[in-house]
Amino acid sequence: MIAQPSAGLPLRRPLQATFRSDLEIESWSVGATRHTFMPHAHPSNVVALIEDGEVLVTLNQTPFHCRPGAIILITAWTRHTATPIDGRGWAYSSFSIPTSTVHRTADQLKVSPSISLPNGVIYNSGLFKSLQSSQHAGDGQANLRALRQLLSAAGGLAGQSVSRYSAAVASTLEVFHTQFHQPIRLMDVVPKVGLSIFRLIRAFNEELGFTPHEYLMLWRTEQARHFIRRGETLAQTALLCGFYDQPHLNRHFKRVYGLTPAQYAFAVHDATGRTGSISSKKSAPQLPIFTSEQAKTSVSAASA
């Protein structure tokens, strides 16, 4: 049975973030928030658990009214939004799971590796509790067990085949993925891909649901998350990922992840280097200063 919405949400619960470098599964939980997520996407699959409040979620423009107990499945690069209902706010936990991890787990379950985690919303109280437990435990094996259960439970939803992009879009993505730290102008890209700027923008909208600029900023924001987790300062992260400055990074990061880069940095860099929590009364710690040579190495590694 699915829990019913409570009369009110707690004033604030600390955000917690856990990263498992061995499994590349990241998870965090967010206490009562009224944040609205505008259209965006993630390179990894996302599994979100609605723990309190109600929220209207759209997945590729398909709306879902999600109550406490909802498990939201979002395939990599799916355009989605989330809006709290009635202004009450909502509380949620989420997992970021690379497609490669989903495929390895699917292979173990003898499910076709060409099928990714489907988009949709399911209600399964046992699975919900299992995912919650693995999130709070920060245990990689618990995460894997929960992922196996999730793939089995999601079997009733229509799977989504791995996307195959047109040559022009694929070539443009290659430029974005390897040169995101540099200024990129479409007028310099189109001669290499054989399309006009207008036709390339239309192809991106049709195949990805985003304009080239929107996709590039999402990719830069995702790379910023990786640099922050590795210990780069926020100013260096903005520079390494092609943002104009730190405020430019802040705006895009908050839009996609619902928290600022400083909040995220504090959440993932506590004394253990693995797990942390933040609240509005805490300030982000100073992160290590990297030399210019180390910064160049970081850019090369990210571009590989």
pLDDT tens digit sequence for 208-223: 999 999 999 999 999 9
Residues 88 and 172 in one domain: no
| 152 and 243 fall within a common domain | no
What is the domain range of residue 91? Answer: 15-161
Residues 53 and 142 occupy one common structural domain: yes
- Across 94-98, 135-139, 156-160, 253-257, least confident range: 156-160
What are 47-60's pLDDT values in tens digits?
Answer: 999 999 999 999 99
Q: Is residue 245 part of a domain?
A: yes
CB atoms within 10 A of CB 268: 23
Judge contact between 245 and 238, C-beta under 8 A.
yes
Q: How many domains does the chain have?
A: 2
Q: What backbone phi and psi angles, to 5 degrees, belong to 87?
A: 65, 15
Same domain, 185 and 264: yes
Choosing from 106, 131, 161, the residue where a domain stops is 161
Asked whether residue 33 falls in the same domain as residue 99, the answer is yes
- Give just the sign of the alpha carbon dihedral 148, 149, 152, 153: negative
Domain boundary at 111, 129, 161, which? 161
* 280 close to 13: Cβ distance less than 8 angstroms: no
Reported pTM: 0.77
The β-bridge partners of 90 are 33
Mean pLDDT of the residues in the chain: 78
Q: What is the pLDDT of residue 98?
A: 86
Calpha distance 287→262 (Å, rounded) = 10
**Final residue before a domain boundary, out of 161, 196, 212:** 161
- CATH number of the domain encompassing residue 260: 1.10.10.60
